[in-house]
């Protein structure tokens, strides 16, 4: 979907990319080739590349914006003609591929108002909507859906799990004028509901009546002690008793050791603390519920969903391990159009991409197996060689010992020859 534009802009530190961005106004499908400006306003901002990655469904169609440097902030944005989503759906859709086995980094997009200074876009820049996956370690693997309402950002109260594998996945957010929303991953609904229910945009409709108090005679005990129940006379028994089988040691010296006492053991007749049995409370009224009243601070707002002057689509994120590829960006007011585009792009390339990834994994696994086998063979050869060398050393030592023994025997024989006999003496 994306093409690199080779002309150099006049601005410094700006990488210009041309990306297919689809916008639908009043259900009329328009296609724009817009300029993406990557503004490297700080030394730790990473560079974007136009890549399809190590595996893909189509080498050209799957080219997208890829993060290329580890442990960097990234910022890139595209401006278009401002519009409002008043009275119609707003659909935000794009694909993300974390082929680098991401450990910690964002994979979301942001929608900005027209007053955004793209040259100074950063993490604190005010935005309308933030949507997409965010992964960091094992604890954070979720889809962000954050809206700006009256100058304050609000996070969704539900937990939406994102995909955390290495394949390309499609993320879709649908915002409806009836104040409902829907989140889809790979063209399948994973969450939906009401804006007012699933975000804390407004104060609660009802609050507890500050004037109400629980009546003093309100009995919320479901069970009570049976007043007619009495403790049996033989109930009280000591918890521990002297061991009847214990005997004083024969070497026990009372003058030295004191008076002998048998050790204590648990009493088998001990019944514990006596409590009267429980019966239903005839005066039970149930749990007291604090009455509620209308919240005087609540005021309905039928325009929570509405954003005026939508004008910039941007990627503003941090990544520890780079390699994420963003593509197939779409902003439209036609849900059906978004579904169709998803089928024409991600829907066409997902299976070839999966197949290519599987083939690469199989080849890598085979190479690893061959490498391990070769290492085992070399280890066996080294072991055999070591054993041969050890045997040779043992044989050499045995030969040296035999030679030494022979020399000693010959020396003894020579000594016997030169010694005089008794007859000669």
Q: At residue 17, does pLDDT exceed 80?
A: no
**pLDDT tens-digit map of 282-341:** 999 999 999 999 999 999 999 999 999 999 999 999 999 999 999 999 999 999 999 999
156's CB contacts (< 8 A; 6+ apart) are 144, 145, 146, 198, 199
Residue showing tokens 């005066």: 283
Q: What is the pLDDT of residue 386?
A: 72
SS3 category, 119: helix
Query: In the predicted model, is pLDDT for residue 419 greater than 60?
Result: no
In 3D space, the residue among 10, 72, 63 whose CA is nearest the CA of residue 41 turns out to be 72
Q: Is 33 helix (H, G, I), strand (E, B) or coil?
A: strand
**Which residue ranges make up the annotated binding site for an alpha-D-glucoside?**
108, 110, 127, 134, 316
Mean pLDDT, range 31-59, rounded to an integer: 72
23 has pLDDT over 70: no
Q: Looking at 165-289, list the stretches that DSSP marks H as alpha helix, in order from N- to C-terminal side.
A: 195-198, 254-257
161: tokens are 């799990």
Where do the H-state alpha helices sit in 183-330? Answer: 195-198, 254-257
Binding-site entries = 108, 110, 127, 134, 316
Output the six-digit token pair for 167.
Answer: 């394949």
Mean pLDDT of 355-364: 94
Model confidence at 15: pLDDT above 50: no
Contact between residue 39 and residue 296 where contact means Cβ atoms under 8 Å apart: no
Give the pLDDT of residue 415: 67
pLDDT band for position 353 (cuts 50, 70, 90): very high
Alpha carbon distance 37, 52 (integer Å) = 20
Q: What pLDDT does residue 380 have?
A: 76
Q: Is the pLDDT of residue 60 over 60?
A: yes
* Threshold 0.85, pTM exceeds: no
pLDDT digits (tens, 9 = 90+) for 136-181: 998 899 999 999 999 999 999 999 999 999 999 999 999 999 999 9
Question: Tell me, what's the pLDDT at 416?
Answer: 64
Mean pLDDT of the 184-203 span: 97
pLDDT value of residue 398 = 76
pLDDT at res. 18: 41
**Averaged pLDDT of the chain:** 86
pLDDT of residue 402: 72
Q: Which domains does the chain have, with CATH numbers?
A: 2-196+304-349 (2.60.120.200)
Give the pLDDT score at 24. Answer: 46
């Amino acid at each position: 979907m994306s093409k690199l534009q080779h002309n150099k802009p006049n601005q410094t530190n700006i990488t210009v990319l041309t990306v297919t961005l689809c916008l639908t106004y009043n259900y009329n499908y328009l296609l724009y080739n817009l300029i993406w400006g990557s503004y490297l306003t700080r030394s730790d901002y990473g560079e974007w590349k136009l890549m399809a990655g190590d595996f893909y469904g189509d080498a050209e169609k799957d080219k997208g914006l890829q993060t290329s440097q580890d442990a960097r902030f990234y910022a890139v944005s595209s401006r278009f003609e401002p519009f409002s989503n008043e009275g119609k759906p707003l659909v935000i859709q794009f694909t993300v591929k974390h082929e680098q086995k991401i450990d910690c980094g964002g994979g979301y997009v942001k929608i900005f108002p027209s007053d955004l200074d793209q040259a100074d876009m950063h993490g604190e820049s005010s935005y309308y909507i933030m949507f997409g996956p965010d992964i960091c370690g094992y604890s954070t693997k979720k889809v962000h859906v954050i809206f700006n309402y009256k100058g304050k950002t609000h996070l969704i109260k539900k937990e939406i799990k994102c995909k955390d594998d290495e394949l390309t996945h499609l993320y879709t957010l649908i915002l409806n004028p009836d104040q409902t929303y829907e989140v889809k991953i790979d063209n399948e609904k994973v969450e939906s509901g009401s804006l007012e229910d699933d975000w804390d945009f407004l104060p609660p409709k009802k609050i507890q009546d500050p004037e109400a108090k629980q009546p003093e005679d309100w009995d919320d005990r479901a069970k009570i002690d049976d007043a007619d129940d009495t403790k049996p006379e033989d109930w009280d028994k000591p918890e521990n008793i002297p061991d009847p089988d214990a005997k004083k040691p024969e070497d026990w010296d009372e003058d030295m050791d004191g008076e002998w006492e048998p050790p204590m053991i648990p009493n088998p007749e001990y019944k514990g603390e006596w409590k009267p049995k429980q019966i239903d409370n005839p005066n039970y009224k149930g749990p007291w519920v604090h009455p509620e009243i209308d919240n005087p601070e609540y005021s309905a707002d039928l325009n929570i969903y509405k954003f005026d002057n939508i004008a910039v689509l941007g990627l503003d994120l941090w990544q520890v391990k780079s390699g994420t590829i963003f593509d197939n960006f779409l902003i439209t007011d036609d849900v059906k159009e978004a579904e169709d585009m998803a089928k024409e792009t991600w829907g066409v390339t997902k299976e070839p991409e999966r197949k290519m990834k599987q083939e690469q994994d199989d080849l890598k696994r085979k190479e690893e197996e061959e490498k391990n086998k070769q290492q085992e063979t070399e280890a066996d050869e080294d072991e055999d060689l070591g054993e041969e060398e050890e045997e040779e050393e043992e044989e050499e030592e045995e030969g040296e010992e035999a030679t030494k023994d022979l020399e000693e025997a010959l020396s003894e024989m020579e000594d016997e020859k030169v010694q005089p006999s008794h007859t000669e003496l």
